[in-house]
Chain A
Amino acid sequence: MATDPLHQFRIEQIVPLHLAGHDVSFTNSSFYMVVAAVLVTALLTVGTAARALVPGRLQSVAELLYEFVAGIVRDNAGAEARPYFPLVFSVFAFVLFGNMIGMIPGTFTFTSHIIVTFALAAMVFVFVTIVAVIRHGFHFFSFFLPPGAPLALAPLLVLIEVISYLMRPVSLSIRLFANMMAGHTMLKVFAGFTITMIGALGAVGWLAGAVPVAINVALIGFEIMVAFLQAYVFTVLTCLYIRDAIELH
């Protein structure tokens, strides 16, 4: 059981809870969501408690995070996207902390569940669509016909554009979920090799078992990069969608 690489993704109930006939129990997933939200909030508030002109360590991290996300929004969504900065920041911080907390052995990675990433992506999708409709009204639907396209091709193009638009939340959520799940599964599989070798080969197994451990050391470094990169990619794509909503074409 311990060597089942998928065991780590199991949702374990902590506090049973039911709401309107649905099971909304507080689980290990919920716990780490709360942890992520608390850590992000703590970083921003405790970090800036001193309001120092010359920042300390924690304040530097908070400022770095702020300016990093502000840079992403400015570069990818434009200056007009400034009002949406808090949302983009929340998305980035939540996903990044979720991914990074998951890198600590024994924790649960809530971003490795498709339903979580899909809900986040769907929220972004709905939000972006509402922004676009509010800004451009009926004109928003011209988004689905690329400018300068021959009218004869319009039915086909509109169909393709609509499908690609609707696929946005799907690709956005699957990219994050698949990366996180694949990485964590791979780590577990290699760790499982070591346990199997030791069990089957005895003394030789201890020696041979060091090889997967060495691979895992490298993989963990790689996975930390992936954890950051996927949060970054999710955020950049969110910003690009916001830019589309603002500029249409």
Chain B
Amino acid sequence: MVNPRLMVWLKGLAAAAVLTVALGGTPSFARSGEEATHAEPGVEQETGVHDEKGLPQLNAKTFPSQIFWLALTFGTLYLLVAKVGLPRVGAVLEAREAKISGDLDKATQLKAETDAIVAAYEKAVAEARASAHKLLNETAVAADAAAAQRTADVAAGLAAKQKDAEARIEGQKQTALANVRAVAAEAAAAAVIKLAGVEPDQAGVDGAVDAALKERA
């Protein structure tokens, strides 16, 4: 890559070369210029009223002025553009570029942070859910066991009570049956007395009652 300062020098050199060549003499242009001057000798600047014959572009008398001012204005423009104008525009464009890429970087970074936070949150939720599930299972198992135990206890208690009650009922039934026998015997004796007018012997009554009970049972 060629040194930029060198390029400025070269540019100046080129402009100087052009100027020298043009001022030093351009035979072909000069000749046509002479023709123009012969046709209308030396009036172009004095009055501006006379119409020039031929193309004004070929009037070589105007060449030095045009080249001089071109070199001056273009050279100045080049220096201003290269030293002031373009660096300024370039700086603005670069600043915008930097700002945009900076913002993009920041956005990417923030997104990464957000993603990490979301991931951590989701992990925590999953862990909490898992532990809650585990706790729920354990509690359910323990509750089931306790319920089964209590059911079994209650069932055993009920069975025992039922047995007691059945035994008591049986006892009372026997007592009641015994009482029925005595009452039946008395009633039979009283009925015999009333019907026959004879007092039956105790043994005969008992035997009859037993026989009747046996038939019923």
**B45 near A: Cβ within 8 Å?**
yes
- Whole-angstrom distance between the Cβ of A95 and the nearest chain B Cβ: 10
Residue of B nearest to A36 (CB): B73
Is the C-beta of A27 less than 8 angstroms from some C-beta in chain B? Answer: yes
Chain A proximity of B104: nearest CB distance (Å) = 15
Given A22-B68, A23-B65, A33-B69, answer yes or no on A44-B74 (Cβ-Cβ < 8 Å). no
Q: What count of chain B residues pass the 8 Å CB interface test?
A: 57
Contact of B82 with A90 in the complex, beta carbons under 8 Å: yes
B92 in complex: contacting residue of A36, A51, A94, A116, CB < 8 Å: A51
From the candidates B13, B57, B69, B85, name the one contacting A181 in the complex (CB within 8 A): B57
- A243 within 8 A of partner (CB): no
Chain A residue total in the interface (Cβ 8 A): 69
Q: A33-B70, A41-B85, A45-B84 are in contact. Are A87 and B7 (CB under 8 A)?
A: yes
Contact partner, A6, options B21, B55, B65, B88, Cβ 8 Å: B55
B93 at the interface (CB under 8 A from A): yes
Q: What is the 8 Å Cβ interface bit string for chain B, positions 52-87, against chain A (1 contact, 0 not)?
A: 100111110111111111110110111011101110
With the chains together, A241 CA to B70 CA distance in Å? Answer: 22
Q: Which of B66, B89, B93 is in CB contact (< 8 Å) with A115? A: B66
Q: A22-B23, A130-B13 are in contact. Are A86 and B70 (CB under 8 A)?
A: no
Contacts of B15 on A, CB cut-off 8 Å?
A: 123
List the B side residues contacting A53 at CB < 8 Å. 95-96, 99
Overall SS of chain A's interface = helix
Contact between chains at A120 and B74 (CB < 8 Å):
yes
A86 touches B86 (CB 8 A): yes
Query: In the complex, which residues of chain B have a beta carbon less than 8 angstroms from the beta carbon of A17?
Result: 65
Cβ–Cβ < 8 Å partners of B52 in chain A: 6, 10
Q: Determine if B2 is an interface residue (Cβ-Cβ < 8 Å).
A: yes
Contact check, A83 vs B1: say whether CB atoms are below 8 A apart. yes
B206 interface contact, C-beta 8 A: no
**How far is A89 from B79 in the complex, measured between Cα atoms in Å?**
11
Which residues of chain A (24-45) have a CB below 8 Å from chain B?
24-27, 29-30, 33-34, 36-37, 40-41, 43-45
Bound-state CA distance A59–B89 (Å) is: 8
Interface flags for A114-135 (1: CB within 8 Å of B; 0: not) read: 1110011011001100110011
Contact at B73–A90, with CB atoms within 8 Å? no
B11 contacts A by Cβ under 8 Å? yes
- Which residues of chain A come closer than 8 Å to B201, judged between CB atoms? none
With a cutoff of 8 Å between Cβ atoms, the chain A residues found around residue B17 in the complex are 126
A232 at the interface (CB under 8 A from B): no
The reply to whether the CB of B10 lies closer than 8 angstroms to some CB of chain A is yes
Complex Cα–Cα for A66 and B88 (A): 11
**25 interchain pairs, CB-CB under 8 A:** A10-B48, A22-B23, A24-B65, A27-B65, A27-B66, A27-B69, A30-B66, A37-B74, A45-B84, A55-B92, A59-B92, A66-B90, A83-B2, A83-B7, A86-B81, A90-B74, A90-B78, A94-B77, A110-B66, A113-B57, A116-B66, A119-B18, A120-B74, A134-B2, A135-B2
Among all A-B residue pairs, the 9 with the closest Cβ atoms: A44-B85, A86-B82, A30-B69, A24-B68, A37-B77, A33-B73, A22-B64, A11-B62, A126-B14
Chain B residues in the interface with A (C-beta under 8 A) = 1-2, 4, 6-7, 10-11, 13-15, 17-18, 21-23, 29, 44-45, 48, 51-52, 55-59, 61-71, 73-74, 76-78, 80-82, 84-86, 88-93, 95-96, 99
